[in-house]
Amino acid sequence: MTHLDTELQLLKKEIISIWTLVILQLKKTQDSLLRFDKDLSREVILNEKRVNAYELKIDRDCENIFALYNPVAVDLRFVLAALKINNNLERTGDIAEGIGKFIISNESPFDDNLLKVTQMIKMFDVSTSMLLDVLTAFENEDTALARSIFKQDEILDNLNLNASSVIADFIRKNPDKLEQALYILSTIRKLERVGDQAKNIAEEIIFYVEAKVLKHKKDK
Amino acid sequence: MESTILKSENFSAWFGEHQVLKNINIEIPRNNIVAVMGPSGCGKTTFIRCVNRMHELTNDTRVEGSIFYTKNDIYKMNPIILRRFIGMVFQRPNPFPTMSIYQNVIAGYTLNGASLNKNEKDEIVEDSLNKAALWNEVKDVLHRKGTFLSGGQQQRLCIARALAMKPEILLLDEPTSALDPISTAKIEELLFELKKNYSLLIVTHNMQQAGRVSDRTAFFYLGELIEYNDTKEIFTNPRNEKTQNYITGRFG
């Protein structure tokens, strides 16, 4: 095994670590929302520092690999993909933190019916499942699995598309719960972004394994 | 569409019984820099030595197939004439040790018995040294020995000597492998300039150099041309697994 191989393996391990942490952050946010557990949200906010530290470390490691090893071909594509995956994961981490802050700001538990009509649990489940699937695709260099993400993202897009009218309807019926309805709407928007980020990551996996650029292409 | 200045067709070469080049088909576009890379013994140096008919100077060698310089089969040309069109620069700078810088530049003419008057000689010397980006550094010491120069300057002197014969193609066999990084950078800069007027074929072990200077890259392995493509493609998305293994250092 070459020195570069060793460095690339370490980089891969670090990315898997930040990835696992971000998925855990999102899961905790979901639990915190459903149980209205503000302490769990505070934990998420605290752990965001770890996500940021990972991001900086991975950025620095990529820089060092470029400077010291001049990677080419699949190695170059891997490091380029690693940088972008890292960036997307950090932003997903930010989203988990942002949702955590909404939960802390809210004074009473979220209305069960609101969570039901907006299909919040489904949104969390789909976005978490997308992140898990792209992680598996990354670990196994499985581009078929990476491509399956694009279909899953459509579920989030549709839920997001319907959210405005669903929320408006809820507010009309429950004007006293206006504030939490708006928090939920923002959360939906954020989870839709998680789907986009998972999709970006899937594109990076396909780029590094197959050398194909899918970004901005309609037909993937 | 770029025109082709050099083309090999099913070209093979042997040292005795040992076949060192196997059916090489390659086209070199005019005013391009083409890098030839591959592990030691892959045939890359033999290939460029065949291009200006130096391979046959070794005993017990033979070739099959054709190499065309424009439309001319080089094996049907007079090798002395051919070498005026296709110049060569070697790995180690090799100025003639007994000659001055001036004499080194016009050595191709004097050794071939050409009679030039002083003005013609002066013009060739200044023009060639300018093209080799050496004139400003040596114009006041033209009559000192070529070996008095630094390694990088000596190599540029050798390039000037090759350019003095007004070639169309310049073959460079690892021209910077004996030089420090600053001299290497100067030669690489020079190659970019030379590309405007010449076509260059450079053998290099330094993959970063191939990436930096060449337009197209050929990868040779065990006497075969494995892959030949735009340098950007070779270094970002090589099509052949052997190329990928070589450039990523996972060979063998």
Q: For residue A183, what pLDDT is reported?
A: 94
Rounded average pLDDT over A94-114: 94
Spell out the domains of chain B, with CATH numbers in brackets.
Answer: 4-247 (3.40.50.300)
Residue B209: closest C-alpha in chain A: A70
φ, ψ of residue B52 to 5 degrees: the values are -115, 30
* Percentage of chain A exceeding pLDDT 90: 91
Per-residue model confidence as pLDDT tens digits over B60-110 = 999 999 999 999 999 999 999 999 999 999 988 999 999 999 999 999 999
Q: For residue A218, what pLDDT is reported?
A: 74
User: Are β-strands B86-89 and B169-173 bridged in parallel, bridged antiparallel, or unpaired?
Assistant: parallel
Q: Does B250 touch chain A (CB under 8 A)?
A: yes
Smallest CA–CA distance, residue B252 to chain A, in Å, is 11
Confidence of residue A213 (pLDDT cuts 50, 70, 90): confident
* Percentage of chain B exceeding pLDDT 90: 84
Smallest CA–CA distance, residue A212 to chain B, in Å, is 9
Rounded average pLDDT over A135-141: 98
pLDDT at A2 exceeding the cut of 90: no
Q: Does B207 touch chain A (CB under 8 A)?
A: yes
Across the interface, whether the CB atoms of B235 and A72 are under 8 A apart is answered yes
Q: CA end-to-end span of chain B, whole Å?
A: 38
Residue of A5, A70, A211 lying closest to B237 (CB–CB): A211
Q: For residue A3, what pLDDT is reported?
A: 86
Name the residue with higher pLDDT: B28 or A2.
B28
Helix (H, G, I), strand (E, B) or coil at B116: coil
Q: How many CB pairs under 8 A join A and B?
A: 31
pLDDT at B251 exceeding the cut of 80: no
Rounded average pLDDT over A102-114: 92
Spell out the domains of chain A, with CATH numbers in brackets.
Answer: 3-210 (1.20.58.220)
Residue of A4, A70, A74 lying closest to B244 (CB–CB): A74
CA B210, B213, B218, B220 dihedral sign is negative
Q: Does B236 touch chain A (CB under 8 A)?
A: yes
Residue B233: closest C-alpha in chain A: A73
Residue of A4, A71, A73 lying closest to B237 (CB–CB): A73
Average predicted confidence (pLDDT) for chain B: 93
Average predicted confidence (pLDDT) for chain A: 95
**Per-window interface: A 14-73 vs B, CB < 8 A:** 70-73
Q: For residue A46, what pLDDT is reported?
A: 97
Q: For residue B252, what pLDDT is reported?
A: 56
ipTM of the complex: 0.71
pTM for this prediction: 0.82
